[in-house]
Structure 1
Amino acid sequence: MSELSTLTITLWDFSWYARTGPGEPFEDLDRAFDEAVARGYDTVRICAMPYLLFGSGLDTSALTFAPFGRGYGLDTRWYDVREPSTLDGRAHLLRLFEAARRHGCRVIVSSWEYQQSSSFLADPAWYEALRAVPAERRATVLAEALAGLVDFVAGHGLAEQIAFVELHNEIQATWLTEVLAPGESAVLGLRPYLEKALDVFKSRHPDVPATVNYAGVPHGEMRGIPANVDVAVFHPYVYGVLDELVETFALRDPGVPFPQERARRELLRPGAPDLADWHPEEEWRGAATVVPPREVYLHDWCDPALFDRWLYDRYATYRHGMAEKLRLWMEVAADWAAARELPLVFGEGWVGYTPLRGTFEEGPVGAEICLDAVRHARRLGAWGTVVCSNAAPQHPMWDDVELQVTANRIFTEGR
């Protein structure tokens, strides 16, 4: 296992390849690493597109990533690709690892492929290849691809930059769950598939720590976490007041009619189209992401100030509960990890998914939640943590240098 010096993590996800066009945040990887180190980070967490590069059999020498078209997604987080770019996938992966070595950083190798990564490609080949893999084989195919990726990186003398590998991001919210029976728990039902896949990876790379990670902390189903993980990784998004907004506007429940007129009165900018009229140019790109169309629509067309005000107006009711949920979830995660003598990592968190220009998580309330979370992570002896999922080059929060420096010092030094 990698030496257990702390991991101060910035979440570069799929943006490090999808956002490389002119003026985009990852146009210059060295600059992005310079800025990360200046903010106190020593680790980047990425979707390394393992299946695409080492499992799909597709030609990856000239991958074109492009905006969704019609302005779709440009006011969301993570989907706001503004400029097209073409790159050699494997060469770009090497550039990232080489830059990480130059800047003294490590890489958490993950995959978002069975959630949304393929939606950023200009054609559906990646999406179609992912969907073509039988559901019962997807976890194992990912493991084989990750092993191939490690072979490739090691073959270029860069394996020491790998902190650990994750079979997939947030397994409960992926197309891996299509193997389950209706109503079956994702955490419990996926365990045998994930354990088998981790064994496949470990048979080829027994010295590289491997794991899966979970959205939230599955506190009532911790027995479903594979017994053969090497790292305990959780993403404690507490939502709270944001949950009320999601439920009020039925953003994640297509069985409930969308309250179009209420959204216009309370959240939307003048001139916003109806939900039914807002979609990407190509239908497959919407299908290639797990983010619901309603959520993209509201984030694209809300007035960010109204969105923030909606949350602030109701926050007092949720403040204590959100703080307690964060503390308890992190303590449950730490206890589970300690019982198994596993290192603990909080790879994402804390409030939830907000619009690109919303400042609830960057403002005074969200900043204090970030600092509280980092204090908990230090108190609980976590190996690694984010400052916040939004603390990365592709988000406006990147400009709040002081908050990130402060949080990373709290985690590493206790100050």
Structure 2
Amino acid sequence: MWDFTWYTRTGPGEPFEDLDVAFAEAVDRGYNTVRICAMPWLLFRSGLDTSALRFRSLGGEYGQRTRWYDVKAPTTLDGRAHLLAFFRAAARHDVRVIVSSWEYQQSPSFLADSSWHAALRQVPVEARPLALADAQADLVDFVTAEGLADTIAFVELHNEVQYSALTEGGEFGSLLGIRDGLEKGIDRFTDRHPSVPCTVNIAHVPIEQLRGVPRNIGVAIFHPYVYGVLGSLVEEFALRDPSRPYPQERAYAELLRDGAPPLEEWLPAPERRWVLDATVVGAREIYTHDWCDPGKWDRWLYSRYGEHRIAMRVLLDTWLDAAADLAAARGIPLVFGEGWVGYTPLHGTFEEGPVGAEICEHAVRRSRELGAWGTIVCSNAAPHHPMWNDVALQRRLNAAFLA
């Protein structure tokens, strides 16, 4: 999963400074497909000038120890030219691209100004799936005109639709109120590109809401993050629940590094405060990831993992089976686009360590047994994560899936 990082982290010394190197290293690790936020609405429907897009960090040290947010060097890109360079590099390395959008989740927070974020929010909520469909169809036209259509594996209107601003005004985390709109978006795209599979990306496997999965998806793609012991940490420290007090003293004792400021003092610079509204990752979670002691964090998880181990395995298997059953019932390909434990700090090693790696191995093996067309070693295995350096694990699991 190369998400939005293929354009936010292209400056000197960054992991995508040279796209050919990134693709070559991916192929060497056994990958044949990457999944990206292609910034389709920005490039093709926003009306903004995209010839000199300026990307940067969230501001100062804010987010610099948080996974996916640790942009180091600012960079300026011609958006459409960089998109073409990406697809051309993919084609040179015989890699396919899953085309998605993170625009209603966090991509705009990395722009140097708020224009992208503000323009997205100007689109009425009910019109957003159609706007994304039009943008994605325009992108396919653009890539096709350059002779690169075969590089596209399939298109997702958006990433994790039930946890995005596509639900604005409705129930965040629920598919039920947005299914009809998503179906209209898929139909709009398919009318223009009937030969390109189109879908929406769905967070976890919502077995209690499978009736909310759009009926016209061309690919069943899910993100089975089981959390378990990690979910216990998120709950106990109220990382995603601002209605409860943040347990500051307990966090100092159990999770944070020496010298950590209090939560309320850890914010972007005043001129960058708008980024807090442009990302779904809340200030509490970024603060705790930025200031955690990775050793403390990992020990917290390891010391409690035994209480959750069986439940995590059962939930993972249940989700994988349910996703496979839905795909089989509809006669469409099954893909797992992200997984397996959850969102951990940049320098945490729980998912890369012996426990997490075993979970990854089990999930990849089950993906193959269930006939999935695509799976992932781990969401943390990409050029912008430390796990990228575990070459042996990636080669082994990719080889096992492709065998």
TM-score by length of 1: 0.96
Aligned to 1:4: none
Instruction: Select which of 190, 197, 202 maps to 2:185.
Output: 197
Q: Percent identity at matched positions?
A: 66
**Preserved contact between residue 136 and residue 179 of structure 1 (Cα < 8 Å):** no
1:265 alignment counterpart = 253
Q: Deviation string for 1:1-35 (max 9, x for gaps)?
A: xxxxxxxxxx0000000000100000000000000
CA distance 1:301–1:185, change in 2 (3 Å): closer
* Correspondence for 1:167 among 146, 157, 171: 157
2:112 is matched with which residue? 122
Matched, 1:37 2:27: yes
User: Is structure 2 residue 78 aligned with structure 1 residue 88?
Assistant: yes
Task: Choose between structure 1 and 2 for higher RCO, CA contacts under 8 A separated by at least 6 residues.
Answer: 1
Superposed displacement of residue 184, structure 1: 8.2
Q: Distance in 1 between matches of 2:49 and 2:97?
A: 25
Shift of 1:68: 1.6
Q: Does the Cα contact within 8 Å between 1:236 and 1:349 map onto a contact in 2?
A: yes
Structure 1 outlier segments of 4+, above 4 Å: none
Return the offset for 1:332: 0.4
Q: Hey, what's the Cα distance between the residues in 1 that align with 2:3 and 2:202?
A: 15
Distance 1:256 1:147 in 2: 43
Aligned match of 1:366 in 356, 365, 370? Answer: 356
**Structure 1 residue 186: deviation in Å?**
2.3
CA contact (8 A) 1:47 1:112 kept: yes
Amino acid at match of 1:186: S
Task: Please state if 1:275 is matched with 2:263.
Answer: yes
Mapped partners of 1:358, 1:331: distance in 2: 29
Structure 1 residues 321 and 84, CA, compared in 2 at 3 Å: closer, same or farther?
same
Deviation at 1:70, TM superposition (A): 2.2
C-alpha distance in structure 1 between counterparts of 2:189 and 2:359, whole Å? 36
- Contact 1:375/1:411 (<8 A) preserved: yes
Write the letter of the residue equivalent to 1:87.
L
Q: In structure 2, how many angstroms separate the alpha carbons of the residues matched to 1:200 and 1:299? A: 40
8 Å contact kept, 1:65–1:84: yes
| SS in structure 1 of the partner of residue 371 of structure 2 | coil
**Quick check: 2:257–2:293 contact (8 Å CA) kept in 1?**
yes
Kindly indicate whether residue 218 of structure 2 is the aligned counterpart of residue 234 of structure 1. Answer: no
> What stretches of structure 1 of length at least 5 have no aligned partner?
1-10
2:240 to 252, 271, 275: 252
Q: Is the 8 A contact 1:65 1:120 kept in 2?
A: yes
The answer for the alignment partner of 1:8 in structure 2 is: none
CA distance in 2, matches of 1:168, 1:67: 23
Given that residues 333 and 372 in structure 2 are in contact (C-alpha distance below 8 angstroms), is that contact kept between their aligned partners in structure 1?
A: yes
Cα distance in 2 for partners of 1:131, 1:339 equals 36
Q: What residue in structure 2 maps to residue 112 of structure 1?
A: 102
The answer (yes or no) to whether the contact 1:73–1:79 under 8 Å persists in 2 is yes
Q: Tell me the equivalent position of 1:337.
A: 327
Residue 380 (structure 1) aligned to one of 362, 367, 370:
370
Say yes or no: does 1:243 pair with 2:226.
Answer: no
SS at match of 1:96: helix
CA distance in 2, matches of 1:123, 1:175: 19
Alignment of 1:174-185 (within 5 A): 174-180=164-170, 183=171
Shift of 1:280: 1.2
Q: Is the 8 A contact 2:164 2:172 kept in 1?
A: no
Return 5+ residue gaps in structure 2 as ranges. Answer: none
CA distance in 2, matches of 1:389, 1:184: 23
Cα distance 1:412–1:184, how it changes in 2: closer, same or farther (>3 A)?
A: closer
For the residues of structure 2 that align with 1:356 and 1:154, how far apart are their CA atoms?
A: 37
Letter in 2 for 1:102: R
Q: Quick check: 1:361–1:367 contact (8 Å CA) kept in 2?
A: yes
Residue in 1 that maps onto 2:43: 53
Letter in 1 for 2:205: V
8 Å contact kept, 2:163–2:172:
no
Give the conservation status (yes or no) of the 8 Å contact 2:289–2:346.
yes
Residue 399 of structure 2 corresponds to 409
8 Å CA contact 1:235, 1:346 repeated in 2? yes
Cα distance in 2 between the residues matched to 1:123 and 1:95: 24
Report the count of equivalent residues: 401
Return the letter of the residue paired with 2:379: S
Equivalent runs, 1:68-79 vs 2, <5 Å: 68-79=58-69
Deviation at 1:185, TM superposition (A): 6.9
- Shift of the 228–179 alpha-carbon distance from structure 1 to 2, 3 Å rule, reads farther
